[in-house]
Amino acid sequence: MRCVLPIRRCTCSRGCKIGMSTRTRLRDSHVTLAHGGGGKAMRDLIEDVFATAFNTDTTEDQARLTDTALADPGARLAFTTDSYVVHPVEFPGGDIGKLAVCGTVNDLVVGAARPLWLSASFIIEEGCEIDLLRRVVASMRTEADKAGVRIVTGDTKVVERGSADTVFITTSGIGVIPPGRHMAAETIRPGDVAIVSGVLGDHGAAILIARGDMALSTDIRSDCASLGHLIEAVLAAAPDTRAARDATRGGLASALNEMAATARCSIEIDESALPLRTEVKGMCEILGFDPLYLANEGTLVLFVPPDQADAALAAMQSQETGRNATIIGRAISGTSGRVVMQTIFGGMRIVDMLVGEQLPRIC
């Protein structure tokens, strides 16, 4: 798929799109290998499913981008990429398309960037339902609109049945870091306050339950969400915010360990302060999981100077995606890269990086 500039419209009263039929071209119900063969079937799939949803042209091999933010003296580009292979493709609270947009947007915003453009590449398994693909793509468009980004280029490949799991998506994102902003884990200092933006472990729990392997029944939904508006609110209220990290694979524990190692300090958290749903706690107790390592897709942890902690917390709680924000700990002097937790029993526990995986194929 080659999606670049907005589709041109003709000057007639109907406002039809140049180069595209005004009615559905694609008549197949499932993806076949012909849809990846470079011919008419592939063109129909791209134009009907992708170009129509993303409102993009398919006639060029590259996106040609410009934005006034790039002209600001001192502005910097931020660039990130990630691949998504979640199973099942659709789950309570989202799907692989929403996940791909949110994940890439959040990788940009935790570095203080304002997301502008995304690419989206699809590896589609032969036999994938066209209607499922339409739902995934529509979900991507909806989430991109919410986040204020455009999906401007991409690609499609079709592989033989059994060579993939329905659909895999790779997204890359470009954003602009405005002048004067600098958020990085290396700037964290002892005394800085740690805040999480929401409840922990919902995405990992939702995926596990959606697979149906454990015969568990609950209404837990993934926290999948774009966090750009949340970060902008925080930076307006607490401009000296040090760093942020989205707690995805490996959960909060892995995010904190990475930040502590980069900052060359220790981090102490309070178990009683951790925001967890009763259902997630119960599921973890039954299955022997540690909720600190369960994935999130709409929750981040950030560090702010102590004199700006209350302002940052209030700003987060004013946003829908941060209404459950909580102070959970602080950075302290001590062994570089160590994370410790004060337990509800009064002792101290070392919180290591995740070893292996608790739950495969979550994002």
In sequence order, what DSSP letters do the residues of 154-197 get, joined into one string? EEEEEE-TTSSSSEEEEEEEEEEE-TT----GGG--TTPEEEES
Selection from 323, 54, 30, 303 nearest residue 188 by Cα: 303
Question: Percentage of residues in the chain with pLDDT exceeding 70?
Answer: 90
CB proximity list for 35: less than 8 A, separation 6 or greater: 28, 41, 42, 44, 45, 124, 156, 158
Angle between helices 278-287 and 202-211 (to 10 degrees): 60
Instruction: pLDDT band for 7, please (50, 70, 90 cuts).
Output: very low
Instruction: pLDDT band for 40, please (50, 70, 90 cuts).
Output: confident
pLDDT tens, residue by residue, 289-309: 899 999 999 999 999 999 999
Give pLDDT, residue 64: 82
Selection from 258, 237, 244 nearest residue 352 by Cα: 258
Q: In the 8-state DSSP scheme, what is residue 224? A: -
**Residue whose structure tokens are 């799939």:** 45
Give pLDDT, residue 51: 82
Nearest 5°: phi and psi at 286?
-70, -40
Ranking 23-27, 210-214, 234-238 by mean pLDDT, the lowest is 23-27
CB proximity list for 9: less than 8 A, separation 6 or greater: 15, 16, 17, 18
Does 360 score more than 70 pLDDT? no
Q: What does DSSP say about strands 339-342 and 348-350: parallel, antiparallel, or unpaired?
A: antiparallel
CA dihedral 49, 88, 297, 153 (to 10 degrees): -20
Is there a contact between 302 and 195 (Cβ–Cβ < 8 Å)? yes
CA–CA distance, 352 with 264 (Å, rounded to integer): 15
Give pLDDT, residue 105: 98
Give pLDDT, residue 81: 97
Does 11 score more than 80 pLDDT? no
Which residues are registered as beta bridge partners of 94? Answer: 91
pLDDT tens, residue by residue, 123-178: 999 999 999 999 999 999 999 999 999 999 999 999 999 999 999 999 999 999 99
DSSP-based three-state secondary structure for 18: coil
CATH topology of domain 185-350: Phosphoribosyl-aminoimidazole Synthetase; Chain A, domain 2 (3.90.650)
Burial of 128 per CB tally in 10 Å (0-12, 13-18, 19+): buried
CA–CA distance, 60 with 63 (Å, rounded to integer): 8
Give pLDDT, residue 308: 98
Give pLDDT, residue 230: 98
Give pLDDT, residue 109: 98
What is the CATH number that goes with domain 33-177? 3.30.1330.10
Listed in sequence order, the DSSP H helices in the chain are 40-45, 52-54, 96-109, 130-147, 202-211, 228-237, 251-263, 278-287, 309-317
Domain boundaries, given as residue ranges, for the chain: 33-177, 185-350
Does 214 score more than 90 pLDDT? no
CA–CA distance, 94 with 88 (Å, rounded to integer): 10
**Summary mean pLDDT of the chain:** 89
